């Protein structure tokens, strides 16, 4: 570590308090009757991925040729028509990758590659050599323009900075005819535009435009980057609108935006910049880029999709896109990252879970129907995500979410009144573990509590038939083992559960009341079974549930009653 840096760190004593003198707000843009606040986005911009250049240079371990090739193929699959494939004068890997794309004819007819170069003659010539043979190419020139860059980095005054840009543009214009097989588009970036005085940003941009001389039929790209985020998104929108209002020959220029995320508002700045006149966006998948990153094209595009705008990019298999991105970049997408994170469609809160469960049940499944599910502004299925992970369970979770997991993953449709009882069981388990419970753990707890419940009551034999006396009643005959003694009982009722409870009561084996009965087919696995749920009230006034699986609904109903009685005995013994 150099001595000045070391001394600077040692002198630092934390954040200033009270009146902050170390930093100053960015001055507002003088813009009368600004128009962007009243604009509405209706169409997607031109998208340009810079994952292979801007994103790649931000990686601790830059991508090799094979990784860059896999990323390029992914970007093409997603639907990008403009892809910045590299900085060919920066390294041999960059140069070789671009040559391979061209020589092996790996660039689709409708895709334009873009290459970046600084305003230096040797770098420009190397860049032009790299793209010879490409059918469509954007030659992207940049030089820094902000006061800090002019003073600290380059030690040049404004006229000298303009001179750099003009000479570089003239050279590219002279060399462009040597790319005889190519359709050449020119792009200029006054780097650190957002930190540059607006009048100087306009002056240098117009100087470059005057050299290139674009027309409405053959436009050039003027890229206005928020290289470092230093102000609120509305200030960025003001800057873009100011330039668009004052730029000569505006109709011959495509205004491109390239926002970074130093303040965490890269997406917002891009959105407001589009309202202000931006027509094109440069960014990266999941926002990978220098410092806090570039604008996240996944988030930006899906924000538009959520508002009913076709982004022209396909994220229907977002998990696969994320997996390839992570493989190529060795960077992980955070679990709370918008749209793509593992937990973004997951609710732990009980009230959220209940609202999602009810919303999913009420959602119109007609193709094209309006999506209206609380807490889920976008349908996970549109992105290739599944519903299994929407509700996950920990100590903060509610009964509705637990019931949702059992229904969605295991086909168990618990009666609403049962949610509270089983919810308390899971709550206790989550409190004890202190961690999230997997869906398998929740199902195992249900099995243990209900399907595998043991006690003094055992069903030995059962026969339930339609009554000969009335079409709406059934006849039940059963053999019950209680504390080792087998008893035969029989009775009639309106349904299998009621008949079985009646038989138990008439045989003095129990004294209980059936409060509810529900059954449904259970199709997990290859065997067809039935699941039944009953709610009974004991002689002591205790109300509790029983549940069971069996080959048919009659057997499941009787076993569910046995489960409830055994659970009653277990609870009674526990209290004693």
Choose the most confident range, by mean pLDDT, from 149-158, 271-280, 413-422: 271-280
**Residue 131, class by beta-carbon neighbours within 10 Å (0-12 exposed, 13-18 middle, 19+ buried)?**
buried
Q: Report percent pLDDT > 70 for the chain.
A: 93
Of 79, 43, 47, nearest in space to 309 by CA: 43
74 against 484, higher pLDDT: 74
Average pLDDT, the chain: 91
Beta sheet of 457-466, edge-to-edge order: 457-466, 474-482, 485-493
The values of phi and psi at residue 223, to 5°, are: -95, 120
Q: Report percent pLDDT > 90 for the chain.
A: 73
Extract the annotated binding site for Mg(2+): 54, 258, 260, 294
CB-based contact 27:196 (threshold 8 Å): no
* Residue carrying the six token digits 């087919």: 521
Under DSSP, is residue 114 helix (H, G, I), strand (E, B) or coil?
strand
Residue 528 CB neighbour total at 10 angstroms:
10
Taken in order of first residue, the domains within the chain and their CATH numbers are 44-329 (3.20.20.70), 350-450 (no CATH), 454-575 (3.30.160.270)
Is 70 exceeded by the pLDDT of residue 247?
yes
What confidence tens digit (pLDDT) does each residue in 78-101 have? 999 999 999 999 989 999 999 999
Distances (CA, A) of 78 to 71, 136, 231, 317, 320: 11, 19, 32, 9, 11
Confidence band (pLDDT; 50, 70, 90) for 222?
very high
Distances (CA, A) of 139 to 113, 116, 184, 541: 9, 7, 7, 82
Is 50 exceeded by the pLDDT of residue 533?
yes
Under DSSP, is residue 564 helix (H, G, I), strand (E, B) or coil?
helix
Is 80 exceeded by the pLDDT of residue 572?
no
Of 519, 544, 545, nearest in space to 530 by CA: 519
Specify the pLDDT at position 408.
Answer: 81
Specify the pLDDT at position 2.
Answer: 58
Task: Please state at what angle helix 233-246 crosses helix 198-212, rounded to 10 degrees.
Answer: 40
What confidence tens digit (pLDDT) does each residue in 347-357 have? 767 678 778 88
Confidence band (pLDDT; 50, 70, 90) for 9?
low
What DSSP assignment string belongs to 125-184?
Answer: HHHHHHTTT-SEEEEEEEEE-SHHIIIIII---HHHHHHHHHHHHHHHHHHGGG-TTSEE
Specify the pLDDT at position 244.
Answer: 98
Using CA atoms of 501, 507, 510, 512 in order, give the dihedral in degrees to the nearest 10: 40
What confidence tens digit (pLDDT) does each residue in 461-470 have? 999 988 776 6
Is 60 exceeded by the pLDDT of residue 189?
yes
Confidence band (pLDDT; 50, 70, 90) for 265?
very high
The values of phi and psi at residue 550, to 5°, are: -155, 170
What confidence tens digit (pLDDT) does each residue in 33-48 have? 999 999 999 999 999 9
- Which tokens sit at 235? 């200030």
Is 50 exceeded by the pLDDT of residue 574?
no
Confidence band (pLDDT; 50, 70, 90) for 576?
very low
**Burial 178-187, CB ≥16 within 10 A → b, else e:** ebeebebbbb
Extract the annotated binding site: 54, 258, 260, 294
């Amino acid at each position: 570590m150099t001595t000045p840096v070391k001394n600077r760190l040692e002198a630092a004593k934390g954040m200033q308090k009270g009146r902050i003198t170390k930093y100053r707000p960015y001055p507002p843009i003088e813009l009368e009757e600004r128009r962007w606040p009243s604009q509405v986005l209706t169409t997607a911009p031109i998208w340009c991925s810079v994952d292979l250049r801007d994103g790649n240079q931000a990686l601790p371990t830059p991508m090799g040729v094979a990784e860059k090739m896999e990323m390029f193929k992914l970007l093409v699959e997603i639907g990008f028509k403009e892809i910045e494939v590299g900085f060919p004068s920066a390294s041999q890997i960059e140069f070789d990758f671009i040559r391979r794309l061209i020589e092996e004819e790996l660039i689709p007819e409708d895709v334009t590659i873009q290459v970046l170069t600084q305003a230096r003659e040797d770098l420009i010539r190397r860049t032009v050599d790299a793209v010879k043979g490409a059918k469509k190419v954007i030659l992207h020139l940049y030089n820094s323009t902000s006061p800090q860059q002019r003073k600290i980095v380059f030690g040049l005054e404004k006229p000298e900075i303009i001179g750099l840009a003009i000479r570089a543009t003239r050279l590219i214009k002279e060399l462009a005819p040597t790319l005889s097989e190519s359709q050449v588009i020119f792009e200029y970036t006054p780097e650190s535009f957002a930190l540059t005085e607006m009048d100087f940003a306009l002056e240098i941009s117009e100087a470059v435009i005057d050299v290139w001389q674009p027309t409405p039929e053959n436009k050039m790209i003027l890229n206005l980057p928020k290289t470092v985020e230093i102000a609120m998104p509305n200030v960025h929108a003001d800057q873009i609108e100011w330039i668009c209002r004052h730029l000569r020959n505006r109709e011959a220029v495509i205004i491109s935006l390239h926002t970074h995320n130093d303040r965490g508002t890269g997406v917002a700045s891009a959105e407001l910049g589009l309202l202000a006149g931006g027509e094109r966006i440069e960014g990266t998948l999941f926002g990978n880029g220098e410092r806090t990153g570039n604008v996240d094209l996944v988030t930006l595009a899906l924000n538009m999709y959520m508002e009913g705008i076709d982004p022209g990019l396909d994220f229907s298999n977002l998990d696969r896109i994320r997996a390839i991105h992570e493989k190529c970049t060795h960077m992980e997408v955070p679990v709370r990252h918008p749209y793509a994170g593992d937990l973004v469609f997951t609710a732990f809160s009980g009230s959220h879970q209940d609202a999602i469960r009810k919303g999913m049940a009420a959602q119109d499944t007609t193709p094209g129907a309006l999506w209206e599910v609380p807490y889920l502004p976008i349908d996970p299925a549109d992105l290739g995500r599944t519903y299994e992970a929407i509700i996950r369970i920990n100590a903060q979770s509610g009964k509705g979410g637990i019931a949702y997991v059992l229904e969605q993953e295991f086909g168990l449709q618990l009666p609403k009144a049962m949610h509270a009882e089983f919810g308390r069981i899971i709550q206790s388990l989550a409190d004890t573990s202190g961690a999230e419970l997997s869906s398998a753990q929740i199902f195992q707890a249900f099995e243990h509590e209900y399907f595998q419940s043991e006690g003094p009551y055992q069903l030995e034999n059962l026969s339930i038939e339609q009554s000969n006396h009335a079409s709406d009643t059934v006849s039940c005959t059963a053999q019950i083992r209680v504390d080792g003694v087998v008893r035969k009982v029989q009775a009639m009722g309106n349904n299998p559960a009621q008949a079985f409870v009646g038989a138990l009561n008439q045989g003095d084996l129990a004294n209980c009341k059936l409060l509810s009965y529900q059954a449904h087919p259970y199709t997990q696995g290859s065997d067809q079974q039935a699941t039944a749920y009953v709610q009974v009230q004991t002689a002591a006034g205790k109300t509790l549930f029983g549940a069971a699986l069996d080959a048919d609904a009659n057997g499941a109903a009787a076993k569910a009653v046995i489960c409830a009685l055994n659970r009653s005995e277990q609870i009674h013994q526990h209290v004693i």
